[in-house]
């Protein structure tokens, strides 16, 4: 059993993935980074790089459905980040706003079958917004920079759609009521998910962590697992991967790189993460950590060693919180489903 569990941790998957997605991800990142570089507005690079996460929801769909999906997700991402930034001016609202974004995202993404990456990036950009002190008059400007990233994502998704040789997936149209009947536990799951996020934001604020969103993001990442065993895998892989990633980050950030070279490295790291994320989660974390830290250093010029220390602390705490909450959530939903089935069978027998 232990050997099997260890093999699962180090297993290298061979997904049926298209290199179109990797090319598109790289084009999105390099476009938004160099838009910021050539306009001398590195804030475009920082906020726009969040907007391009819209592209990561790319699927081989008919063009009309693809554009509708990415547009709605892009708007959701932008609004989530905007609300997060607003919450910094009323600190007590941050846990509420992030939890509400998580609730809506989890509910609709699960109902409409957007399982991976699901609501994760929505929560991430909301938590990052809630951790970024932006003066109130500048928030619309930062949201516009974010929207630039969304536009790049939709543009390259449309362009690459014509080169994608995979057969488009035809989505069957079903009403919201039909989807709820097929997945009755979605509301309970979404409510529990939002409660965990509320506590994660509250805890990160209470501990006064630098870049407190790392704790929240790590917690949300663990909760993306398909089942409890997969979440335990993610928990271990994320902590181990972060340790290795911090060593890589310390080496990269101590190199005398120019801004231009730094942007090229960030793009390469982003594509590498996207390559490994479906193959082995731990290896992907080797490159996620230096990429995140380089983006933070690019705009904020924060002290390297405090960044490394707080990122590690936030990820460990967030991972442990996520797995503990996942166990409670799984147990609770199992009990709920048993009671639901019991009442359903009883109703049928009494008819």
In this predicted structure, what is the pLDDT of residue 181? 81
Long-range contacts, 226-235 (Cβ 8 Å, 24+): 226/115, 227/330, 228/326, 228/327, 228/330, 229/8, 231/322, 231/323, 231/326, 232/323, 233/8, 233/9, 233/281, 234/281, 234/319, 235/319, 235/320, 235/322, 235/323
Q: What pLDDT is recorded for position 16?
A: 73
CA-angle at 203, arms to 51 and 266, nearest 5°:
30
Residue 300: other Cβ atoms inside 10 A? 13
Name the residue with tokens 């081989």: 60
Give residue 190's pLDDT.
87
How far apart (Å, rounded) are the C-alpha atoms in residues 13 and 247? 25
21-70: pLDDT as tens digits: 888 999 999 999 999 999 988 889 889 999 999 999 988 888 888 899 99
Residue 321 neighbours by CB under 8 Å, 6+ apart: 196, 199, 200, 203, 215, 219
Residues of the chain predicted below pLDDT 50: 1-2, 302-303, 342, 345-350
Per-residue pLDDT reduced to its tens digit, 143-187: 999 999 999 999 999 999 888 887 777 777 777 777 888 877 788
d(CA 132, CA 145): 14
What secondary structure letter does DSSP report for 227?
S
The CA distance from 109 to 120, in Å, is 10
Tell me what pLDDT residue 155 has: 95
Q: How many helices (H) and strands (E) does the chain have?
A: 14, 0
Are 126 and 81 within 8 A, CB to CB? Answer: yes
Residue 347: per-residue pLDDT: 47
Cα 295 from Cα 46, distance rounded (Å): 7
CA 9 → CA 224, 292, 332, distances in Å? Answer: 16, 24, 26
316: how many CB neighbours lie within 10 A of its CB? Answer: 18
Of 12, 3, 13, 9, give the one whose Cα is nearest residue 232.
9
């Amino acid at each position: 059993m232990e050997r099997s569990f260890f093999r699962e941790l180090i297993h290298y998957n061979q997904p049926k993935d298209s290199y179109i997605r990797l090319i598109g991800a790289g084009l999105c990142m390099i476009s938004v980074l160099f838009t910021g570089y050539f306009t001398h507005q590195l804030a475009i690079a920082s906020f726009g790089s969040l907007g391009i996460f819209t592209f990561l929801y790319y699927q081989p769909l008919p063009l009309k459905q693809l554009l509708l999906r990415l547009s709605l997700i892009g708007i959701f991402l932008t609004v989530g980040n905007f609300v997060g930034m607003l919450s910094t001016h009323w600190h007590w609202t941050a846990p509420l706003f992030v939890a509400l974004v998580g609730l809506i995202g989890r509910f609709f993404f699960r109902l409409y079958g957007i399982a991976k990456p699901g609501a994760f990036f929505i929560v991430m950009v909301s938590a990052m917004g809630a951790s970024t002190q932006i003066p109130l008059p500048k928030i619309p400007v930062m949201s516009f920079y974010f929207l630039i990233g969304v536009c790049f994502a939709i543009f390259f998704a449309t362009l690459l759609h014509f080169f994608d040789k995979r057969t488009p997936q035809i989505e069957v149209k079903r009403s919201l009521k039909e989807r709820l009947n097929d997945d009755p536990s979605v509301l309970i799951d979404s409510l529990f998910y939002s409660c965990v996020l509320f506590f994660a934001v509250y805890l990160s604020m209470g501990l006064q962590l630098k870049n407190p969103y790392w704790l929240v993001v790590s917690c949300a990442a663990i909760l993306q697992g398909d089942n409890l065993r997969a979440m335990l895998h993610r928990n271990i892989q994320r902590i181990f991967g972060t340790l290795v990633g911090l060593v890589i980050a310390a080496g990269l950030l101590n190199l005398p790189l120019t801004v231009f070279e730094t942007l090229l490295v960030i793009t390469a790291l982003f594509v590498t993460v996207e390559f490994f994320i479906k193959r082995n989660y731990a290896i992907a974390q080797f490159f996620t950590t230096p990429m995140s830290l380089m983006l933070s250093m690019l705009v904020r010029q924060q002290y390297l060693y405090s960044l490394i220390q707080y990122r590690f602390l936030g990820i460990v705490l967030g991972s442990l919180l996520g797995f503990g909450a996942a166990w409670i959530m799984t147990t609770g939903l199992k009990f709920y489903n048993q009671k639901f089935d019991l009442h359903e069978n009883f109703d049928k027998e009494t008819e």
